[in-house]
Every structure is written in structure tokens, then in C-alpha cells.
Structure 1
């Protein structure tokens, strides 16, 4: 079987590979970290290799970073036991095993764009300069830290040191504070602000966050279930704390649910019931 039509899909071991889709080389390949696209997939009698897995043909991009070019040249020089330059390395029609590539989301596809809040701090005091940044998903979390840091500066930092200077200037908004000595900004200033930006979130990140949240909820359910069990008195505090945070519980629960036919029958029955409700609501709109 040969697949080379753009957009055609091939599923192997739970992963869907799409012709024309972006990929990156994994640590199992000499092309680790290189970006490229899938150009063709061959399986069965049409494979060119003797691998048990499908042959995935990839076209890789020339690395943009000089350090990555150097690393690639070193890898292939060691592999062939002779000096190799980037011009000697094949980047087109490279046959890869599924484990050697990781599929990537298309950046042009619709993604989640949550807003994040970056707390930026910058200062120059007594001949020393520095800056820091911290990222928060909640504005109020960032604002609380801004207030804490600002109070520290107001109480024992540069602000009381400069406050009596006639050239002292300060400016503030609900998400920014800045002070400096006029005419000496580069040498004497303190600036702290919250900058809000949209974050381009991949579908994989959303799934991983969903799994983490689900696992957290399942651990809470676990604690709720066993909280009044008499046998817990036999555990030490250290054992109990370790048990209620054991990541194996969500994994084991998911495995059990996956084999529970009654659970899935009830789930899909409920999905069907709610789906019918929604369809009927929209049909009534048309009427």
C-alpha cells in the first residue's frame, strides 16, 4: 500500500499520520529536532525497508540555527566515520519509522487562545541592573505578586532611597508602577508591570491539561471515598499523604473504566439522550 495524496490519513498504533502534515524528529532518529512534513507512507509489500513498522517518508527543513547545523553535521560525521557537511546530508525522502517522528498540530488550524499575564520587573539601582519575568494564567495572581514586590520596594528598596530627591518621578496604573530619577533613568529606575497576551495553545497541550485536571478530580474522589474507612487508622501520616497523591490511582481507575462495559453503555446512552435533546432544539428553531 502506497499513500501519497495530500491530506490522506494512515493510522498506526493509535497515531494518525497525515500526508503533508508537519512532524519533528524524535530522539530515536539522527534527525532529532528537525522539522519537516510527511510526503509518503508505505506499508506491506510496497515497503522499501525490512522494518516491521510502516515506512514514513519525510522531507526535512534545513536547520535555521547554526548550532543545529553543526550538531547534525557531527552526528552524520560520526555515523559515516568521515566528515559530513549539511550539503552531504539527505533531507528529502528520508524513510523513518513511526517512533522516529512526532506528529505536530497545524499552526494554521483553529486553536485555543487563552490570555496569560506576564509580570515584568526591571531595575537599575546603585550601579546594579536586573530584570525578571513570571507568567500567570490569572490576572489577580499576577496583580497580587506585583503588589507584594512593590510593597517590598516601598518599604526597604530603592523607592525610599530616592523619594526625597527633587528629580524623583513616579507613574502608575492598575497594572504598572514605575519610578526613576529624571535624567538618570538608565542608572536609577524601578519598573514593574503586567503585560497580558494571548497564548497559542496546541491541541496536545489542551489534552494534557485535561488529563491533569481529570486526574486531580479522580484523586479527590478517591479521598472522598476512603475518608471514613476504619482501616485508614492503620496507616501512618506519611503513608496516608503519599497514598492520596499517588498518580497510579487515576491510571488504574482509567484502566478499570476502560474494561467496564456497563460504564460505557451508560455513558453512550446518556450521550445519545442529550444529543437527541440538542437536535430537537435546533429542529424547533427551523420550525
Structure 2
């Protein structure tokens, strides 16, 4: 009796082939990977149409329901520069705070930090870049000046028992300066760590042994100051790949796909997730 097989899209077949990783290779992978979901902040901040506050809150709650351990909720930046994040206080106060899930917010300066803490933030994110030109384009100051700003934030965070996570941009290359020096990356990262950041996110990094990965639901977002950049890694694709490698994330892929579908419908755009695209064809 012949076996009936359902046609499976090639993309899914390729992803599924990750399960065939040899034992020797699998031994080098971490047992668990923490995913930092940045879709509600980095993913939405450059959308031209203002996303309603209620939609942002629902998206974050759906991502929490999917089991993501960290969901970057919003950015306490001036509405003049990032209008999409003008409702940061309402968003942070409106989301459900799931036990065991962290909801960091981006705070580029002391004023933003103070507003974030007043709104109930328990963790904040700060950022620097390895490139002088990128720093100038991004926040209109030098790297040294950006560290002076961060120093005030970290000191205030220490006084209020607020956790601080650091971002380092352009670790492999800069759209304005080209290739970056590994020594410079190490210098900037070490400085952030010594200031008090409990974790450092290295933008653009790849490789074995990475156990904390930033990604964005549906592949939303990406830096507007890096022309030609491919954008953020889709969280759905990351979870599917890690699952195929036998690496634990604690994330429910089905619920994650539902969250991606929800926000893409609101934004009236197609998902950038290859897994979501393949599943929609089944």
C-alpha cells in the first residue's frame, strides 16, 4: 500500500535538515539559548504609520504568552526624534507583567531613564557604537560623549537598583567607516561591562557558543542609519532553527507565529519570517 505524502515547501525542508546535525557538531552547541525579543521597540520604531498603543500592548502580551524570556517593550526617547515611541509610558504601564519575563526599555539619556523608572521600568538598555561616524549619525555625539551620557544613566540605575543591559553597534563593520577593529570592539565592550552592564549585546555578531540572541518578531525593524542592511533576524526563524538543533528556548512557536501574524495584519505588510511564509502555504 502506497504511503501518501503531503508536499512540503523547500524552505521547510532545508530548515528541517538541521535536525540531521552530527553528534560531534551538536556537542559544540549551547544547551539553551536566551532570546531577547526586540520587535515592539526596534521593530516598530521606524514604521511610518503610528501603531496604536493598544496594538503595541497586545503584541507584547502575545509575545509574553509565547514564552519569550525578554521582551524589549519600548524606548524612552524624545517623541521629536522617534514619534512611534511617544506612548512609551502608556505602553509600559499597560502591558501584563508575566512572572519570570523581563521587559527592558531603551533609555538614551538620563531624562529618558528617569521617565522610564517613574513608569515602572525594572531594567533599561543603553547603547554605544564602535564607529565614530555612526555614533554621530545616530545620536549626534562622539563615542566619548556617549559614554559620558551612559555614565550618568548607570550611576542612577545603581542608585535605584535598576538592571542595565548594553548594546554595541557596528561590531563587524560600519556603513560609513567600513571594517571595525576587534580591539576597538573589545575596548568598548569592556568599558560598558566595567560601568555596570550585566550583559552586552554585540550587534552583527555570528558564531558558535552564542547563548543570547536578539531577534524581532516577523523580522520587523532594523537600523535606519545603515542603508542596505537586511534588517532584524525573525524570531520565528530563530526559534525554529534552535528547535531543530535540539536547543531549548522555552518559546511556543505556534503562539509566536500568531503574534507575528497579528502585527503584520495591523501594519498591512508581509512577514519577513521564512518559517511564517512557509506555514502560510501549507
> Shorter-chain TM-score category?
under 0.3
TM-score, normalised by the number of residues in structure 1: 0.20
Structure scoring higher RCO (CA < 8 A, sep ≥ 6) equals 2
TM-score, normalised by the number of residues in structure 2: 0.21
Q: Which has the larger radius of gyration?
A: 1
